[in-house]
Amino acid sequence: MFRVWWVPLLCQQWSTMPRRPRIKHCSQSSGTRPPFPAVEGLWDKPTIINNVETLGPLPNIIRNGAEWYNQFGTETSKGTKTFSLVGKVRRTGLIEVPLGITLREVIYDIGGGLIKDFKAVQTGGPSGGCLGEEFLDTPIDYENLAAAGSIMGSGGLIVVDKDTCIVDTAKYFLRFTQEESCGKCVPCRVGTKHLVQILERICQGKGELEDIARLEKLGGAIKGGALCGLGQTAPNPVLSSLKYFRDEFLAHIKDKRCPAAVCRDLVVYRIIPEKCTDCQRCVQVCPTGAITGPRSEPHNLDEEKCIKCRSCYEICRFDAIAGDAIIIESGA
């Protein structure tokens, strides 16, 4: 007789955690870490831990047979895969597709494409890799993603366009994995913290050319020395971004410029007088009083007072009476 129990998802790998009960009635036998659940788990019995995605196809496989299921997928990656398609695509959501489908088919045929130009797709969730346009026609399977420096991971597909900063994106995902680290091993606990700090300096315009080598060397050390899957894959967003979008890192470091005009310390806000409708909507939302001017004249923006919060930019873009007159420019 089989029983299915739902338990919270743990970011850390079971076998690398310190000895403590993870499930009520879990074995309390001696040792520095718990046994593998397939050997001894719930109520000291062999326990199979799988997620809903793994268990979902079982009824159809039992009903139709293994040969039916094997008709989907590739020679080495059989079956289907559930992805969370999000980001700058027109249609987001959970999708189930046969393995071997290309990224282009997923993004453009299923997701409806993007409003602006495609830039990259982050596969595998926070621990995945950032892949550029050259991978759009790559079949999605475990081997191809691994060869590209990414992973299948949790099945996340995060699509970004030209208005997204790759350096900032890598920093965002790495900060998440750094915060999720259990802290047991030094490469993950300390290494990811230093990776985040280096990326923060680069986004602030304080990076050095040597930071490129530091990121690559430190990322390789973390991948090789971390104890669990979280630590071993944590550097993927950084290493893959460096591999395929190195020019964007160099623009931040050498030119002190964010090509996507995202990094706050590397952009300036400007008002185009010819487009300003004198509506004062930006004046009303500015929290520091950096924008001034009467209704009858184009407004002025004081860069020293501006905290680059984007409030004026957003209201000028979408308000019905505004003129889309505020722009964000990349510059030192």
Distances (CA, A) of 288 to 63, 204, 270: 65, 21, 16
CB 324, CB 270: distance < 8 Å: no
Please state the domain count of the chain: 3
Q: What pLDDT, on the 0 to 100 scale, is given for residue 325? A: 85
pLDDT band at 160 (very low <50, low <70, confident <90, very high): very high
Render pLDDT for 202-254 as a digit per residue (tens, 0 to 9).
Answer: 999 999 999 999 999 999 999 999 999 899 999 999 999 999 999 999 999 99
Residue that finishes a domain, picked among 208, 228, 254: 254
**CB-based burial of residue 284 (10 Å sphere; 0-12 exposed, 13-18 middle, 19+ buried)?**
exposed
Share of the chain above pLDDT 70, in %: 88
Q: Is the same domain home to 150 and 193?
A: no
Report the predicted TM-score, pTM, of the whole model to 2 decimal places: 0.77
Distances (CA, A) of 331 to 6, 63, 155, 199, 290: 51, 61, 36, 18, 19
How is 175-204 classified by DSSP, letter by letter?
A: HHHHHH--S-SHHHHHHHHHHHHHHHHHHT
Distance between CA atoms of residues 236 and 180, nearest Å: 15
CATH number of residue 284's parent domain? 3.30.70.20
Q: Which two tokens stand for residue 194?
A: 């230093």
Give residue 156's domain range.
80-161
State mean pLDDT over 287-315: 89
DSSP state at residue 73: B
DSSP state at residue 121: E
Distance between CA atoms of residues 156 and 145, nearest Å: 13
Tell me if 45 is assigned to some domain. Answer: no
Q: Is the same domain home to 105 and 136?
A: yes
Render pLDDT for 48-81 as a digit per residue (tens, 0 to 9).
Answer: 888 888 888 889 999 999 999 999 999 889 999 9
